[in-house]
Amino acid sequence: MGRGERDGDRTVNEAEEAALLGLAPVAPPVTERYGPHPSQVIDLYGPADAPLVAVLHGGFWREAYDRTHLSPLAAALADGHGARVALVEYRRVGGGGGRPGTFTDVAAALEHLAGLGGARALVGHSAGGHLALWAAARGLVRGAVVAVAPVADLGRAHELGLSGGAVAELLGGAEHVAARLPEADPVRLPPPGEAVRVVLLHGTEDADVPVELSRRYAAVRRSAELVELPGIGHYAPVTPGTAAFGRLAAELAGACGT
């Protein structure tokens, strides 16, 4: 890819990011705790008797990025698509997270949701997409996983130096990456169970998490369905009102009847 193409992808991403962050946050009707840390919470949107969809936000696993930017998505899925949406927070790098806290929090949050009937689908965006694929490989998911622009291949993401070395931060330092990839990288973990449907949605113009990572995952996990979104960057699929968000909603409808 030439410099002009990279700059074009960056422009697409910047415009999409501005559109997402320009949406007003939507306060949840209910928030539940799954642990004592301030980040161990789950916001719930929608009626209690609707199919439950869990959502994991991105932000390269860093404390600076929390779940708030996906609250419009959670509200839109609940209000317009008949789901009960669980927007999960978790400890992040710089706030008590990273290995192992981020991973144990995702497991604990999904266990908490099992007490509410269990999620029929798990949606993850970006770093959250990585965590969703990790959870599926660990046998923590029933139903479907929809990974949106996921960091699906940690090893390759580290080689590319995505977001200034975010993978090394997650795994506790560059000196630990090689030893810890087998326990954290979806392409190195066992495949999800046969009952788990895995769908990857990835924009071809994504400059934050290149579509190459999803292609590499799909090449290893041939049961996974890769849906490439031409002309789309990193944020449009999680921005209500966009055509790419419509595709995400359609995938969820197919996965769990939302």
Q: Which of 128, 138, 115, 117 is nearest to 87 (CA)?
A: 128
Locate 58 and state its tokens: 């991105």
β-bridge partners, 200: 147, 226
Task: Quote the domain boundaries for residue 38.
Answer: 3-256
Q: What is the pLDDT of residues 203-237, one digit of tens each?
A: 999 999 999 999 999 999 999 999 999 999 999 99
- pLDDT score recorded for residue 5: 42
Number of structural domains in the chain: 1
Is this prediction's pTM over 0.75?
yes
68 in Cβ contact with 34 (< 8 Å): no
Locate 144 and state its tokens: 């479907």
Once rounded to an integer, what is the mean pLDDT over residues 169-193?
A: 97
Using CA atoms, how far apart are residues 208 and 47, in angstroms rounded to an integer?
34
Q: Which residue has the tokens 């996906």?
A: 70
CATH code of the domain in which 213 resides? 3.40.50.1820
Using CA atoms, how far apart are residues 149 and 255, in angstroms rounded to an integer?
18
Q: What is the pLDDT of residues 17-74, one digit of tens each?
A: 999 999 999 999 999 999 999 999 999 999 999 999 999 999 999 999 999 999 999 9
